[in-house]
Structure 1
Amino acid sequence: MSRRAFLATSGVVAAGGTTLLGATSKVKPLFGANRKPVSARPKIGRDTVILFQGDSITDAGRSREKAGVANDQQQLGGGYAAMAAAGLLIDHVEQGLKVYNRGISGHKVFQLAERWDADCIKLAPNILSILIGVNDYWHTLGGGYKGTVEVYEKDYRALIDQTLEKLPGVAIVICEPFVLRCGAVNDKWFPEFDKYRAAARRVAETYKATFVPFQLAFDQATKYAPAEHWAKDGVHPSPAGAALMAHAWLGAVAG
């Protein structure tokens, strides 16, 4: 049973409604018009394990103590991963999905690799969603990190290679790193940061991963509300920004 049908029959919303972005939302129609998936959507079936990985945007204050408890509200954090998980768990209410969040604030690709066995391989996800890249650039501006976009892409490819070697059946979702021009984000970020976005897309294309175009979503959304509405510091999404991300993720991954 689909989420829409479930909610309609349960009386939560009228048929044709939606939970993350309402039927009257000005932002909702923007999704899909310019999205060009680089692969087919992952198959979501019974007992599917879904893992969200990344940095602080994914972490969103998640509980480490509840890290092993699938679908737990505290374990999922307070960001887009939790909101996307909620959509999945309603859309596939009879499927027994297990959703985990293992994002860690401040991390870059090489730090994901350092904890990959414990925080990915051991969970044996059927669907692995990765959002990483903003720190790989941001920390070069004042954090003492000496990485380059070439290092980012090389490390990213090595991480995917390692994952596919150990989990050959996993479906991979590559999320586009993004920023908004406000707060900590100024002209110094560009055009260099755009190279990281392009690198993430190349990785998705190479491995035929599903690609989630977060930058497109935010660029379109700023036509209706200022950048600060979506991410006050230009990097970490507000509740509205997190909901926008969840909607974009579900659209790209789950349809």
Structure 2
Amino acid sequence: MLPFEKNSRIVFCGDSVTDVNRDYKAIPAGWGSFGDGYVNLVHALLTAVYPDRELMIMNEGVSGDDIKLMAARWDRDVLDMKPDYVSVMIGINDVWRHFDGPFRQADLVSLDEFEHTYEDLLGRTEPRVRGLIVMSPFMMEPNKDDPMRAMVDRYAEVARQVADRHKAIYVDVQAAMDHFLEKQSSYILSMDRCHPGIEGHMLVARTWLQAVDFDWERTTFDDEK
């Protein structure tokens, strides 16, 4: 059963995969605020299928964020929004900078720092919300021996462990991507193996909705049962 009570506020936080061209000047849950990715799709489906719940969806993704950059704005962009539920997906930039950052001396996030920071964020947030949702970082690369893909898997496993410690719902987006890639090329979903196109975002949204027990066959409202 979908866990979100009527009038719940659900804040999504993350990097460019969450951001996807959202209007930073838009009012929360207003026109342009959802972006063009999975958050917008989740919002649309929750609104269409659960109109009686009147759920408020807020997109607080910021393109380019790693977990340290996200942590620096967490209080303002997440906690100050007074969410009932927080969904977070972070990690791909923490990994990516290890591969595209050396020639610009990028500030790299180690696996230990990633875990420590994630633990701190969820630890501070858990007492203030009704529930947490942790989404795995992912890469649309079927070769698990690819160096970057292998590192993404390690960061995703840390995200899973932190989620377990805080009784968060864990959304294994990587598993959904891997299932798709058994049949089709990554180029169907992404041009760079990291940023999804609309098909990839639909897959992310579907995976998130499955994890929260979205009822795809719902035909009656709560007060009609």
TM interval, short-chain normalised: 0.7 to 0.9
Could you list the runs of 4 or more consecutive aligned residues of structure 1 that deviate by over 3 angstroms after TM superposition?
none
Q: C-alpha distance in 2, partners of 1:107/1:253? A: 25
| Residue of structure 1 in register with 2:219 after alignment | none
TM-score (norm 2): 0.87
Residue 43 of structure 1: CA displacement?
1.9
TM-score (norm 1): 0.77
The answer to whether the 8 A contact 1:204-1:211 is kept is yes
| Residue of structure 2 in register with 1:26 after alignment | none
Residue 186 of structure 1: CA displacement?
8.9
| Residue of structure 2 in register with 1:34 after alignment | none
Residues 239-254 of structure 1: pairs in structure 2 closer than 5 A = 239-254=198-213
**Which consecutive residues of structure 1, in runs of 5 or more, have no partner in the other structure?**
1-40
2:41 equivalent to 1:83: yes
2:192 equivalent to 1:230: no
Q: Which of these residues, 149, 171, 174, is aligned with residue 134 of structure 2? A: 174
The answer to whether the 8 A contact 2:94-2:108 is kept is no
Amino acid at match of 1:154: H
2:92 equivalent to 1:134: yes
| Residue of structure 2 in register with 1:20 after alignment | none
Residues 18-167 of structure 1: pairs in structure 2 closer than 5 A = 43-66=3-26, 68-70=27-29, 72-143=30-101, 144-165=106-127, 167=128
| Residue of structure 2 in register with 1:193 after alignment | 152
Q: C-alpha distance in 2, partners of 1:190/1:75? A: 31
Matched residues, percent identical? Answer: 29
Alpha carbons of 1:211 and 1:189: their partners in 2 closer, same or farther (altered >3 Å)? same
The answer to whether the 8 A contact 1:131-1:176 is kept is yes
Q: C-alpha distance in 2, partners of 1:115/1:61? A: 18
Q: C-alpha distance in 1, partners of 2:43/2:31? A: 10
Q: C-alpha distance in 2, partners of 1:194/1:44? A: 29
Residue 89 of structure 1: CA displacement?
1.0
Amino acid at match of 1:149: L
Q: C-alpha distance in 1, partners of 2:147/2:135? A: 23
**Which consecutive residues of structure 2, in runs of 5 or more, have no partner in the other structure?**
215-225
Alpha carbons of 1:243 and 1:223: their partners in 2 closer, same or farther (altered >3 Å)? same
Q: C-alpha distance in 2, partners of 1:111/1:254? A: 31
Return the structure number with greater helix share.
Answer: 2
- Higher mean alpha-carbon deviation, 185-194 vs 144-153, is at 185-194
| Residue of structure 2 in register with 1:218 after alignment | 177
> Matched residue pairs, number?
209
